[in-house]
């Protein structure tokens, strides 16, 4: 069974991406370069990274089936949606949940996790 599962960029706790059953599951991604920046800055960086990791798996945002978004302040929901709406493909709008949550680092404002069809 493990031959059907590809795990990418593993560390001691997790894989950044797992390909299985015709899908790629990305771990929740947060800002690296824009840590401490605005929701807009962090969201743009995270979405660029999602594009990169989806491409490495052989798919794109057009294959998105699911997205989970965590915001540290739900008052930034509209700000986040402005970035999201400009990024998500017209034909690739996934199911999505967006909630307020305290993230592991106070400098983080956004975390995004997606699943896409390969």
Cβ atoms of 103 and 72 closer than 8 Å: yes
Lowest mean pLDDT among 10-14, 64-68, 90-94, 107-111: 90-94
> Can you say how many angstroms the Cα of residue 87 is from the centroid of all Cα atoms in its chain?
12
Domain of residue 51: give its range: 2-117
pLDDT interval class at 2 (50, 70, 90): low
- 15 pLDDT more than 90: yes
Counted domains in the chain: 1
pTM for this structure?
A: 0.94
Query: Which tokens is 73 given?
Result: 């302040």
Rg (the chain; Cα; Å) = 14
User: CATH no. for residue 76?
Assistant: 3.30.1330.40
């Amino acid at each position: 069974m493990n031959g059907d599962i590809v795990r990418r960029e593993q560390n001691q706790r997790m894989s950044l991406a797992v390909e299985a059953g015709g899908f790629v599951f990305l771990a929740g991604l947060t800002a690296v370069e824009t840590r401490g920046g605005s929701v807009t800055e962090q969201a743009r960086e995270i979405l660029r990274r999602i594009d990169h990791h989806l491409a490495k798996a052989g798919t794109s945002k057009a294959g998105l089936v699911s997205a989970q978004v965590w915001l540290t302040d739900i008052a930034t929901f509209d700000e986040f949606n402005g970035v999201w709406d400009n990024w998500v493909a017209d034909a690739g709008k996934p199911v999505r949940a967006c909630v307020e949550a305290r993230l592991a680092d106070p400098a983080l404002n956004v975390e995004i996790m997606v699943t896409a069809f390969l």
